[in-house]
Chains A and B, each alone.
Chain A
Amino acid sequence: MPSDATVAVSQDGLTTLLHGLLPNGPISKSSEVEWELFSASYDVSIAVSGGSIQLNDLAQVIRFLDINVAGHAHAEAACDLGKILPHLCIPPVQICTPGFFGRKFCTPQYCPTWPSVSIPITIPLDINVSADFNLNVVEDGSNFNIVLGVIPSSLVIDATPMAGLILQAVKDYLHPIFAEIPHIISKVIDDLVHTAISAFDDAAKNLAILIRTLLHDLILGSDLLAPSAGITLLSFSKTQVLIPSDGTPANPDVSITLTKLKVNIADGELVATADIA
């Protein structure tokens, strides 16, 4: 006996529906962090597009494959260079000669005071992400909804390139600052940059992870992939009006009522079946 009502959507059909669910325009999120020597405020702004659907009959899972995430991550990393750089004088040693009346004459020496800096960092983003969803039917007042629930562990974003980009941005910012110090030679500049970068290395890696986490939360928190509420892929009103009223009391709506909805993935399709009372 066939089901009272059957609605099926193909993989291509679901891809069309998916594109209708992607957020229009960019979405963004920001946060802050403080460590012992550094602090940073950072934000991520992305636009989500593309992607296709793969249906897994066996696992009853829908995979959104290769959704393109493009945009930028910005960060302002602040630190007091005085806390990470050694006290430096140029030249390191003053040469003094005794002069008249007990006074000494010394060669000039410059000892810079290291400033606090706020380093702007921009990381371009252009990555593909995939995520898996399971299917549920949720009764919501007058509707049966087919809801997708994201499996959060399935969303994998590779952050390793970001740490290198962060360190490069720090290097590019500090190099000219050090180069402005009077009488400084380039070897010393390089040593100073190297010292600063080494101090910042762990922080850069942590910042990359934080940015990746922010990106992860932003994608998961968007309308597309809301993990708590789930995404409503299809909504079926329990009362289906097949012949609407013509407005006269003698001719009210003629409807059928859905009493139950089931959904599953079979033969590479999403199949919803309903009982009718």
Chain B
Amino acid sequence: MGLTNGHAAFASLSASAINRFIYNLAKARPRYFRFASGSPPSYLGPFEHVPALHLPGASGGGVDYILEITLPQLDLYPGSGSQQLPAPLTLGPNQFSITTGLTICIAKDYKIVGHKVVPVEDCATLNIWAVGELSTSDPHNVQLDLGAHADNIILKNVGDLESIGENLSLILVNALLQKMTYPVKKQALGALTFSVADGPRIEDQQIKAWGDLS
């Protein structure tokens, strides 16, 4: 029986493989991880443009800001032990945890340096931990997509803004995870025409799937 457990084929990716995938995603599509309004400093690299923050009573075009998502690290149940989740978060069967961060910089003022107008930045970094589960778009269909949602999220060091910060971060992290959707059958690495019959499931620090050969 072994790995295939009564099916024709088995395919799995480990947490380190998924983290390599996330790293390659960040390299290939940096705009998923960086957002900015106005004309941000060039150190930011490629980014997704967003409108400035318009605050009531403020003059001008609004407050410019930059949002950077730190490269997320994924861990799969039962966990490698490298990620310490703060209470009350726990990693349960079929769950993954994600450790990431959010760096927010606002342009609080502007100054002239040489001939250029340069923003004076005020930055803060939030550390984010989240736990989530796999979702599939259609379990009866041959093509299953791996998506995820973080349904329990903790922020630290933000005082009373914790709850608002958590909700906003949850939205951002889930938006990122949505973009990491791939068909489960691709775990067979193109070697087999694989239709998923069981899974995907998270166990033994892997995303596992079982299938039949069509």
Contact = CB atoms under 8 A, between A and B. Distances in A.
Interface of A: 1-10, 12-13, 16-17, 146, 234-237, 240, 242-243, 250-256, 258, 266-269, 271-272, 274, 276-277
Nearest to B13: A5
Interface in B144-189: 179-182, 186-189
Given A254-B21, A256-B24, A269-B4, A7 B213 contact: no
Contacts of B9: 7-10, 13
Nearest to B179: A243
Contacts of A255: 24
B7 A10 contact: yes
Interface stretch (B25-33, B62-70, B93-101, B104-112): B25-33
Contacts of B8: 9-10, 12-13, 16
A26 to B, nearest CB: 26
**Residue with the highest number of chain B CB atoms closer than 10 Å, among A240, A251, A254, A258:** A254
B37 interface: no
A234 B189 CA distance: 10
Nearest to A13: B8
Contacts of A2: 12, 14, 204-206
A7 B4 CA distance: 9
Which bucket holds chain B's interface residue count? 35 or more
Contacts of B188: 7
A8 B80 CA distance: 23
Interface of B: 1-4, 6-14, 16-17, 20-21, 24-25, 28-29, 31, 46, 80, 179-182, 186-192, 204-206, 213
A1 B6 CA distance: 24
**Residue with the highest number of chain A CB atoms closer than 10 Å, among B179, B188, B189, B190:** B189
A252 to B, nearest CB: 5
B3 A6 contact: yes
B55 to A, nearest CB: 30
Contacts of B13: 4-5
B187 to A, nearest CB: 7
A9 B100 CA distance: 36
A2 B18 CA distance: 12
14 contacts: A5-B13, A8-B4, A9-B10, A13-B4, A13-B9, A17-B213, A236-B189, A252-B28, A256-B20, A269-B4, A271-B3, A272-B191, A276-B16, A277-B20
B14 A3 contact: yes
A234 B21 contact: no
B4 A276 contact: no
Given A16-B213, A235-B191, A250-B31, A7 B11 contact: yes
**Residue with the highest number of chain B CB atoms closer than 10 Å, among A1, A6, A272:** A6
Contacts of A256: 17, 20-21, 24
B25 A240 contact: no
Contacts of A12: 8
B113 to A, nearest CB: 30
B2 A268 contact: yes
A6 B21 contact: no
A277 to B, nearest CB: 7
Given A5-B14, A6-B10, A9-B10, 14 more contacts: A2-B205, A5-B17, A6-B3, A6-B12, A7-B11, A8-B4, A8-B11, A9-B4, A10-B8, A13-B213, A236-B189, A243-B182, A251-B29, A272-B191
A236 to B, nearest CB: 5
A234 B9 CA distance: 12
Contacts of A8: 2-4, 9-11
Q: Which 5 A-B pairs have the closest CB atoms?
A: A267-B2, A13-B8, A8-B3, A10-B4, A4-B17
A244 to B, nearest CB: 9
A178 B204 CA distance: 81
Nearest to B10: A8
A272 B24 CA distance: 23
B1 A5 contact: no
Contacts of B3: 6, 8, 267, 269, 271
Given A235-B191, A254-B29, A4 B24 contact: no
B189 A258 contact: yes
B132 to A, nearest CB: 18
